[in-house]
Structure 1
Amino acid sequence: MSTESTASVSTHILDTSVGRPAASVAVSLSARGGAREQWVVLGRSATDTDGRCRDLPALPEGTTHVRLDFETEAYFHTQNHSHSHSQKQAEAQQDAPAPRDSGAFFPEVAITFAVTPGEHYHVPLLLNPFGYSVYRGS
């Protein structure tokens, strides 16, 4: 809930490599009151089956910068493990080489942005094993 003195933040993750929401990705929300201030972790959450964090805490009054930290390595490890059987079957049929790596190129994604009191900031993360994109959504 946003007031004149605070901003609010929401996020979701879409795994563009499979065209589905990314579930069970750990996310932490940090804030600071200026460029020279220390980051304060406000809370931690994880994305639900729709790829959304529905329980991020409110930002304290005076927040000017926010950071969302997404722990993507565990998500991609789980994705690669759960798809390994179907990938092996497809590769056997196509005589394709095995995947190069089961880890994530970006083991974590940190997004930092400025906020203005009274505004809501929805910051979606579009994620794939070798890249990501973010934007201010609505």
Structure 2
Amino acid sequence: MKGKVTTHVLDLGKGGPAVGMKVALYAEDSLVALASGVTNEDGRLDEPLLSVEAMQPGIYQLIFYAGDYLRYQAEHNQVTQTLSLWDQIPIRFTITDEQGNYHIPLLLSPGGYSTYRGS
């Protein structure tokens, strides 16, 4: 399938997928999410956030709800580290080709995060 926005989240503190993290996609400066979802057992969303029918050039923002995820992990004794200072992690990116694939992963740890354009 051509033209889509996807993501996945890896929890570097646990050494595996971040299961159960909410992710939302917004168009530039919009207060209404275009799409949202919760990561599955593989740290991915079950469906693309945007597919070819909805792809338009412009600036978009992915919001990763890392604070909710990390608090849940700590409350359920799934981690022993202290909580992170990250609450919401916004990643702004530009779609220039509505036929292109935009895979925006997040690598998360309590002390930092990183992203890159995946394939």
Question: TM-score, length-normalised on structure 1?
Answer: 0.73
Q: Give distance in 2, aligned partners of 1:126 and 1:133.
A: 5
| Matching residue of 1:96 | none
CA offsets, 1:62-100, max 9 Å, x none?
33112110111111111112227x85xxxxxxxxxxx6x
| Matching residue of 1:132 | 113
Q: Secondary structure at the match of 2:41?
A: coil
- Map 1:94-113 → 2, pairs under 5 A: 101=82, 103-113=83-93
The answer to whether the 8 A contact 1:13-1:52 is kept is yes
Tell me the CA shift for residue 31 of structure 1. 2.0
The answer to whether the 8 A contact 1:10-1:54 is kept is no
Tell me the CA shift for residue 54 of structure 1. 2.1
The answer to whether the 8 A contact 1:31-1:63 is kept is no
| Matching residue of 2:14 | 18
Structure number with the higher helix fraction is: 1
Q: Percent identity?
A: 35
| Matching residue of 2:50 | 57
Tell me the CA shift for residue 61 of structure 1. 4.7
Q: Give distance in 1, aligned partners of 2:77 and 2:65.
A: 20
| Matching residue of 1:119 | 100
Letter paired with 1:135:
Y
Residues matched between the structures, number = 115
Unaligned runs of 5+ in 1: 33-37, 88-98
Give the root-mean-square deviation of aligned CA atoms: 2.1
Question: TM-score, length-normalised on structure 2?
Answer: 0.84
- Relative distance call for 1:74 and 1:120 in structure 2 (3 A) is same
Letter paired with 1:115:
I
Residue of 68, 80, 83 corresponding to 2:77: 83
Q: Give distance in 1, aligned partners of 2:100 and 2:57.
A: 12
